Structure 1
Amino acid sequence: MVDRTNLYRIAPFAAYVFFMILEDVLLKFGWEANDIRWLYAAKIIVVAGLLWGMRSAYSELRWPGAAGFRTWGIAVIAGIVVFVAWINMTADWMVMGEAVGFDPRNDDEIDWVFVAVRIAGAALVVPVMEELFWRSFLMRWIQHPNFLSVDPAQVGLKALAIAAILFAVAHSLWFAGLFAGIVYSLLYMRSGTLWSPILAHAVTNGILGIWIVVTGNWGFW
């Protein structure tokens, strides 16, 4: 039986993965990518609903009163650095599988509702869900099963490496994912607040979304 403390951090992530699997299954059964675009909105609504419903359990999301401008400034810079790395770490050996991407165009006209939902989900919901799972839960749980008792600064190299590698293989751009996983983990360990990697992750995803729309590189979605 899964401990409730663990479940609260696994459930939103598991819901997100479920929808990703559902999308892959529908594509394999002949559905067109354009026909299932609204599944992303459903995925974000479900994940956001789970996060909101279980918000009282997330002690690591209490606002850190001691964190100052330096903490947030470093997080923003780190988010920008990860974005730059993400769009440049695209050599063949750095890519695993083939991403379907998310094309919000209808007859060459961009559907701005799709774009808004995609960017809002990627920048506001995904960072909270993923940082709760990958950094707060998994990385600390690898260090010790009673993960809430583990101070982020006490996480060892083994736990950091395993969590970062697993984060990497969850992305088609695995090398960029590995880099991002290490950066976000170090932010958490150094700052002591989960809001630092959440902010960095949000900056990365937000800028990436804007860049994709401006350049038309839909495959990065």
Structure 2
Amino acid sequence: MMFDRDNVYRIAPFGAYVFFMLLEDVLLKFGWDANELRLLYVVKITVVVGLLWLMRRAYSELRWPAGVSSRTWIVAIVAGIVVFVAWINLTADWMVMGESVGFDPRDDAEIDWFLVTVRLAGAALVVPIMEELFWRSFLMRWITHPDFLTVSPAQIGFKAFCITAILFAVAHSLWLAGLFAGIIYNLLYMRSGTLWSPILAHAITNGILGIWIVSTGNWGFW
């Protein structure tokens, strides 16, 4: 069943994150200004962190793996950098789906560093754990077999790989960059056997992207 306890533990933080994204879209449609909703991100990340903390004992896949070679971590870091480069370059009109409002932390051209810090911390530290628990650890394995905790990353089938990568793409306005990222993170998980590999790559991607956004003022990427 989709709503077994182990499933819910991995769906709930992601579901809360999506809920706040939808809430923001609804409020924008009802006339709220994007600047008025910036603190909603703080609430969203706080709720997700709270759920991850409350359910932390259920995440057996987050136990630190023993005997993983340094090559695994180097590959994950390089992969994260490669995804970042792809993300800021795969931006042609046909590679974009919908319209991203972005996250502009400026007040009268002055950057609100509290908002920037929360956004960077959320993107680099919270989102990778929350999303990898859902996309890779849960969904990819659940598609392979409903008793997903018994499925090792190496046993994940081609169908599960493709469905997860496509859904990951659809979840992002930069759909082609999202597809590329989904494929890379999927491969890292399946090849390394540890969820920490795609988490690290995802964190590297989001962290560098955030620094690049603040440095260049390309707020639309947020």
- Whether these two folds match at TM > 0.5 is yes
- Counterpart of 2:73 in structure 1 is 72
CA distance in 1, matches of 2:155, 2:134: 18
Tell me the equivalent position of 1:162: 163
Q: Does 1:175 align with 2:176?
A: yes
Give the alignment of 1:115-134 within 5 angstroms: 115-134=116-135
Deviation at 1:159, TM superposition (A): 0.6
Q: Kindly report which structure 2 residues correspond to 1:1-221, keeping only aligned pairs within 5 A, or say none.
A: 2-221=3-222
Counterpart CA distance in 2 for 1:78 and 1:144 is 28
Q: 2:42 aligns to what SS in structure 1?
A: helix
Instruction: Output the amino acid matched with 2:151.
Output: V
Cα-to-partner distance string for 1:134-192 (whole Å, 9 max, x where unaligned): 00000010111111111101111111000000010000000000000000010000000
Q: Which amino acid aligns with 2:206?
A: N
CA distance in 1, matches of 2:115, 2:174: 23
Aligned-CA RMSD value: 0.6
The amino acid across from 1:71 in the alignment is: T
Structure 2: segments with no counterpart, 5+ residues: none
CA deviations on 1:30-62 (whole Å, 9 max, x unpaired) are 110000100001000000110010000001001
Q: 1:78-136: CA deviations, max 9, x gaps?
A: 00000000000001111000000000000001111110000000000000000000000
Equivalent position amino acid for 1:183 in 2: I
In the TM superposition, residue 68 of structure 1 has moved relative to its aligned partner by 2.0
Instruction: Work out the CA distance in 1 between the residues paired with 2:148 and 2:66.
Output: 22
Per the TM alignment, residue 65 of structure 1 is displaced from its structure 2 partner at its CA by 1.3
Partner amino acid for 1:22? L
The CA distance in 2 between the partners of 1:187 and 1:30, in whole Å, is: 42
1:144 and 1:88 map into 2 onto residues whose CA distance is 36
Segments of 5+ residues of structure 1 without an aligned counterpart are none
Q: 2 CA distance for matches of 1:64 and 1:164?
A: 25
Name the aligned partner's letter for residue 84 of structure 1.
V
Q: Secondary structure at the match of 1:45?
A: helix
**2: CA distance, partners of 1:117 / 1:56:** 25
Q: Percent identity?
A: 79
**Letter paired with 1:207:** I
Give, in angstroms, the shift of residue 67 of structure 1.
1.0
